[in-house]
Structure 1
Amino acid sequence: MPFEPLANPEPTAPTPHKRQSKATSRWPDLLGLLRRKPETDLDSLSKRILLPSLPVTDEEMARAMHQDRGQKLARQDLWPELAQVMEYTDAARLRTPGGENATTLLAVGARADVVAAAEDALHDGVDPDPSGIDALEDMQAENPDSYPCALIVALAHIDIGWAWRTTATDRTRPAHELRFLEHFKRAEDMLAPFDGVDLDAPSLSAAQCALLAARRQPGMRVADDYERLIDLDPDSPRHMRALGEALLPARYGNYEMLDLEARRTAARTGEIWGAGAYAWVYFDALALDPCAIAHLDADFFVDGLRDIVARRRDQHVINQLSAFCGIVMAPKTGNQRLSGPAEASRRRIHDCLDWLLENHLQELHPLIWSQTLLSPGLTPSLPSRRALVAKGRQTALRVIAQRFAEDISDGSSIAFSSSGMYRLPAL
């Protein structure tokens, strides 16, 4: 099928290098996400939430370790060694504590320098120097039978293609769109000799799914491609979340397809996740499109949340689910008001924050909370890391303070530890 422009696409996972802005005005109004309560009250109450905070988590360190290793081996031109490591991590399904695929992270690091240079050039309004991607192409030509080498080059083309599309203006859009399609076509050619299922390589199947962004009418191929990927690597929630996003009406599907594939995925992965896959498929979809909740089975979704927690007690996951329930499922205001049944579903999921906090949250991962305020996918201009951490901590403490406002209105405090949540009386 020929590659042609697609409306409202979303980029692939971000690379380590992204331009940052010191401005924080892009943050959504947090108070608009919470029940109406004066800001000064929330700030005061949040001081009585005693929750250990980890500015740098095990998940971040694991991601950085894999990315740094991929970048180091690439800079030293140790491509056969890098390919061997990537084949091993793919076969072993090696992941970070939060479930991120190690092979994907190695590939992110390996192409980071080339992609960063291209992105910087495009943001500066000039064409990227082709020498970087040409060097990767030469490397792949020297290792024609190595799927990790082909994967690195293909993903570099995909990233650069997205950079062309996302930097387009009204005047340059046709030219940038052409370059987008050219890079995606080159990525498809790179991956054509390799099959993820035959090679037992989820990273390859994930890259094939990423190529759907340049197809005019992916149709049912979206469900089929993601089904193969998820069946190949059912332990990873990343693929299920990507499937849900891909099936939104603004992408390649519709709400009926989204719910159908969420149910089918849950049925196929029941031995691993219980009902958890249903929740994972809807996770990013609900964050991007609030209207999707009108088609959601709230009981099934809540069962999924409980099954995820029963199987993944890592604090990274607990923070993810808590931030989702506390922020994404917070009461809507203004033009975002939902219909009666949809509002009931939203409230049901938002109320899950109580048992997540009371029974499972032990430590705060601020970056997860700040990132939940932003839409999934790439953000053109992120605040600095320090601002992300500070905003994430402020957001989490306000959300928690709001949920337990009545309990601590007498001056008492809420404390969290490995033994659970408990209340400290006022002095």
Structure 2
Amino acid sequence: MLTGSGKGSGGAKKVRKMTEKDIDALTKRIILPSLPVSDEEMARATHQDKGQKLARQDRWSELARRIRYADESRLTTPGGETASLLLAYGARSDVVSAAEDALHDNAEPNPDGMEALEEVLEDEPGEYACALVVALAHLDIAWAWHSITFETAPEKSLNRAHEHLERAEEILAPYDGVALDAPSLLAAQCALNATNEKRGRHLAEDYAKLIELDPEGHRHMRAMGRHMVQFLRKSPNVLEIEARRIASQTSDEWQAGGYTWVYLDALTADPAAIELLDADFFIEGMENIIDRKLDQHVINQFAAFCAISMAPASQEKTLSSRGEATRQQLHDCLDWILSDYLQELHPLIWSQTLLAPGQIPMLPSRRALVVKGRQTALRIIAARFASEIADGSSIAFSPQGMYRLPAL
């Protein structure tokens, strides 16, 4: 094992400033298996493809049965993604993608797709799973109107988005997610309530109900944090208060991990979220999650978060001295995550973290994302441990941890 890289260390040794060429040369001495397609990706694709196939074949009764079963059993992917929501995503994906394509082409979306989905509500009356798919389709298209056309046609964008949001609210209104034991319904209601201040007044309470119903579902906690950042300007303490509340609520399942899950996406969505973060508590939660899950998907997520999302900002300083110290403390966690837990590289996670969804208009091809993710991860690892391999030795990763291979 390498020395000086564990949780209690100050991180890797400092070396002279290296060029990209130097770092690229060192990456050849990083021995790390890479999975272009992980188990998590295959599991997600399986649920999404099944939902899409059943919707295309108008087999809505079977789709509803699968969504209900996924809710009842709290079925998730290996990385913890909610299966019922993945099925619903696949079922509406054709309609939503067509609407997004039309908006990107500065055209009105063809109403036929949404009208066909609306007919499902008549064919399957009282079926919450079908209502879930249709309501989420309206919500997705509302976001598409806002994100794609707001700059060029703000009034029209807001009006169209409002129409879809009102319809989504109308569709969900008859259903009680708690009474139906349906976390997917509560998750959809929370996503809807997060769309404006009026609906969001009780957002924290809504998420608390959802998380009480499905405390294992960390997707809900991450979504909560992401949605709560919009309130930081008016109530700077709100995210910290709610993160601690969820940590207490889910302590049996995650120990301190609930605090970490709530903050994880919030820290990426809004840098200001770090100003009140308790770094020691966040790191304790991260350790609790990793020790509990021991899943390489989750470990890659945390490694990419610490390495990329918490890297020093290249732009003008925006954080306070406290916030900058907290960011550095989280960034330094990369050392012990790499040395103690990383066994295989999931490149797509690294490229997605690097690109930060929403900052670029079009994503590159999947192959390009995999190549970029692997290159990014290996460069970060090589730079982090440059002093240890400067003598020609190599670093290898295994289930027993990271270790050094001396030069021949």
Common topology (TM > 0.5): yes
Map 1:9-408 onto structure 2 (within 5 A): 37-249=18-230, 254-336=235-317, 338-376=319-357, 380-408=361-389
AA in 1 matched with 2:301: Q
Say which SS state the counterpart of residue 176 (structure 2) adopts: coil
- 8 Å contact kept, 2:145–2:158: yes
Corresponding residue of 1:414: 395
Looking at structure 1, the residues matched to 194 and 166 of structure 2 have their Cα atoms a distance apart, in angstroms, of: 11
Say which SS state the counterpart of residue 410 (structure 1) adopts: coil
Looking at structure 1, the residues matched to 17 and 216 of structure 2 have their Cα atoms a distance apart, in angstroms, of: 39
Aligned in 2, Cα 1:218/1:146: closer, same or farther, shift over 3 Å?
closer
Corresponding residue of 2:5: none
Looking at structure 2, the residues matched to 195 and 249 of structure 1 have their Cα atoms a distance apart, in angstroms, of: 26
Q: Provide TM-score, normalisation by structure 2.
A: 0.93
- 8 Å contact kept, 2:55–2:91: yes
- 8 Å contact kept, 1:245–1:251: no
Give CA deviations for 1:227-265 in whole Å, capped at 9, x if unaligned. 111111111111111111112146786430000000000
Aligned in 2, Cα 1:337/1:126: closer, same or farther, shift over 3 Å?
closer
CA drift of 1:332 comes to 2.6
Looking at structure 2, the residues matched to 99 and 49 of structure 1 have their Cα atoms a distance apart, in angstroms, of: 29
CA drift of 1:349 comes to 1.3
AA in 1 matched with 2:163: E
Looking at structure 2, the residues matched to 110 and 253 of structure 1 have their Cα atoms a distance apart, in angstroms, of: 37
- 8 Å contact kept, 1:246–1:252: no
- 8 Å contact kept, 1:160–1:183: yes
CA drift of 1:90 comes to 0.6
Say which SS state the counterpart of residue 248 (structure 1) adopts: helix
AA in 2 matched with 1:312: K
How many residue pairs get aligned? The number is: 394
- 8 Å contact kept, 2:348–2:370: yes
Which is further off, 315-324 or 249-258? 249-258
Say which SS state the counterpart of residue 300 (structure 1) adopts: helix
- 8 Å contact kept, 2:72–2:182: yes
- 8 Å contact kept, 2:51–2:90: yes
Aligned in 2, Cα 1:155/1:117: closer, same or farther, shift over 3 Å?
same
- 8 Å contact kept, 1:222–1:252: no
Say which SS state the counterpart of residue 287 (structure 2) adopts: helix
AA in 2 matched with 1:268: Q
Aligned in 2, Cα 1:167/1:69: closer, same or farther, shift over 3 Å?
same
CA drift of 1:91 comes to 0.6
Say which SS state the counterpart of residue 154 (structure 1) adopts: helix
Q: Which runs of 5+ in 1 are unaligned?
A: 1-33
Q: Provide TM-score, normalisation by structure 1.
A: 0.89
- 8 Å contact kept, 2:194–2:200: no
Looking at structure 2, the residues matched to 208 and 153 of structure 1 have their Cα atoms a distance apart, in angstroms, of: 13
Which is further off, 237-246 or 61-70? 237-246
Say which SS state the counterpart of residue 407 (structure 2) adopts: coil
Looking at structure 2, the residues matched to 255 and 47 of structure 1 have their Cα atoms a distance apart, in angstroms, of: 45
Which is further off, 347-356 or 363-372? 347-356
Give CA deviations for 1:304-353 in whole Å, capped at 9, x if unaligned. 11101111111000000111111111223341353332222122211211
Aligned in 2, Cα 1:356/1:272: closer, same or farther, shift over 3 Å?
same
CA drift of 1:220 comes to 4.0
Looking at structure 2, the residues matched to 357 and 103 of structure 1 have their Cα atoms a distance apart, in angstroms, of: 33
Looking at structure 1, the residues matched to 194 and 200 of structure 2 have their Cα atoms a distance apart, in angstroms, of: 12
Aligned in 2, Cα 1:166/1:145: closer, same or farther, shift over 3 Å?
same
CA drift of 1:175 comes to 0.9
CA drift of 1:215 comes to 2.9
Looking at structure 2, the residues matched to 183 and 337 of structure 1 have their Cα atoms a distance apart, in angstroms, of: 36
Aligned in 2, Cα 1:230/1:306: closer, same or farther, shift over 3 Å?
same
- 8 Å contact kept, 1:247–1:254: no
Q: CA RMSD in A?
A: 1.8
Looking at structure 1, the residues matched to 246 and 57 of structure 2 have their Cα atoms a distance apart, in angstroms, of: 41
CA drift of 1:118 comes to 1.2
Say which SS state the counterpart of residue 198 (structure 1) adopts: coil
Looking at structure 2, the residues matched to 91 and 333 of structure 1 have their Cα atoms a distance apart, in angstroms, of: 46
Say which SS state the counterpart of residue 416 (structure 1) adopts: strand
Which is further off, 65-74 or 250-259? 250-259
Aligned in 2, Cα 1:176/1:249: closer, same or farther, shift over 3 Å?
closer
Instruction: Give me the identity figure in percent.
Output: 60
- 8 Å contact kept, 2:232–2:273: no
- 8 Å contact kept, 1:284–1:376: no
